[in-house]
């Protein structure tokens, strides 16, 4: 039995799948992994993305933060791809219990998924730092400079976990709960390089850990099944 067949067999047998995904899930929707710095980027910004997307940079240079954020992080026209849709179908069929994601694009919900644990927050939620008023991503996109609250005029901050900021504890606890109770854990599109998110897979106690990634990761040895292929190629083969 080849690896894809084994994968499909486990998916068929399981009714308690949890998916843990990273940037690679969304690259097929045209959302770039900001860690893969391109030439265009180099010409436009004086700082690396990790610097711009840090808490201290946001505090000290909010206008430059928002220039990068609008241009590189707010991909509001992006559409879910086959992986997002298949995961939503698996949930609807009662086979998948939750999605833990490092992505902030909201594409899983757009595809119809309900139980999505967003470790790094979401660009679709933005709140006034003074009064807590909600602002949509469209309004942030179409504002200029630092977006301000329509109610009190305070600065609006995206509900996105920046570098130097801690993860939301409730989201983290939920992720640990679902992963530790999962029968099958599918990990895809992540290099498993960023902690504490990468440490989450240590909570998995089953024997169906599937790792899908085009390139090698530091956790390949942990996998019960290693599939070195694109996520779309693999998920498109799931039939429900
Ligand atoms: Zn306000």
Ligand 1 mean position to 160 CA, how many Å? 18
* pTM higher than 0.85: yes
- Ligand 1 ion: nearby residues, β-carbon < 5 Å: 128, 130-131, 133, 149, 151-152, 154
What are the catalytic residues? 120
What percentage of the chain carries pLDDT values higher than 70?
95
Ligand 1 mean position to 127 CA, how many Å? 8
Find tokens 């902030």 and name the residue: 104
E runs forming strands in 49-189: 96-101, 116-118, 121-128, 134-135, 156-160, 184-188
Q: pLDDT, tens digit, for every residue of 168-210?
A: 999 999 999 999 999 999 999 988 877 776 789 999 999 999 9
Round the CA-based radius of gyration of the chain to a whole number and report it: 18
Banded model confidence at residue 39, pLDDT cuts 50, 70, 90: very low
Ligand 1 mean position to 50 CA, how many Å? 28
For the segment 83-108, the average pLDDT, to the nearest whole number, is 97
Can you tell me the distance from the alpha carbon of 60 to that of 129, in angstroms, rounded to the nearest whole number? Answer: 15
Average pLDDT score, the chain: 93
Contact 237, 8 (CB under 8 A): yes
Ligand 1 mean position to 135 CA, how many Å? 10
Report which secondary-structure segment, H or E, holds 17.
Answer: strand 17-21
Ligand 1 mean position to 148 CA, how many Å? 8
Can you tell me the distance from the alpha carbon of 139 to that of 98, in angstroms, rounded to the nearest whole number? Answer: 30
Ligand 1 mean position to 147 CA, how many Å? 11
Q: pLDDT, tens digit, for every residue of 163-179?
A: 999 999 999 999 999 99
Q: Which residues of 72-97 are buried (b: 16+ CB within 10 A; e: fewer)?
A: bbbbeeeebbbbbbbbbbbbeeebbb
Asked whether residue 225 carries a pLDDT value surpassing 60, the answer given is yes
For residue 224, what is the DSSP state?
S
Can you tell me the distance from the alpha carbon of 47 to that of 28, in angstroms, rounded to the nearest whole number? Answer: 26
């Amino acid at each position: 039995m080849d690896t894809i067949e084994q994968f499909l067999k486990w998916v068929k047998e399981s009714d308690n799948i949890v998916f843990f995904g990273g940037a690679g899930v969304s690259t097929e929707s045209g959302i770039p992994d900001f860690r893969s710095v391109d030439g265009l980027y180099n010409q436009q910004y004086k700082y690396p993305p990790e610097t711009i997307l840090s808490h201290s940079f946001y505090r000290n240079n909010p206008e430059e933060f928002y220039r990068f954020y609008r241009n590189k992080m707010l991909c509001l026209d992006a559409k879910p791809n086959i992986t997002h849709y298949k995961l939503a179908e698996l949930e609807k069929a009662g086979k998948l219990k939750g999605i833990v994601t490092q992505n902030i694009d909201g594409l899983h919900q757009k595809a119809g998924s309900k139980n999505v644990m967003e470790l790094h927050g979401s660009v679709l939620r933005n709140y006034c730092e003074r009064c807590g008023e909600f602002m949509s991503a469209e309004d942030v996109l179409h504002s200029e400079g630092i977006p301000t609250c329509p109610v009190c005029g305070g600065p609006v901050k995206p509900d996105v976990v920046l570098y130097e900021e801690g993860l939301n504890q409730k989201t983290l606890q939920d992720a640990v709960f679902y992963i530790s109770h999962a029968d099958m854990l599918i990990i895809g599109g992540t290099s498993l390089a960023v902690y504490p998110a990468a440490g989450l897979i240590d909570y998995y106690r089953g024997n169906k850990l599937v790792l899908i990634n085009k390139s090698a990761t530091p956790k390949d040895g942990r996998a019960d099944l290693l599939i070195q292929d694109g996520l779309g190629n693999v998920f498109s083969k799931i039939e429900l």
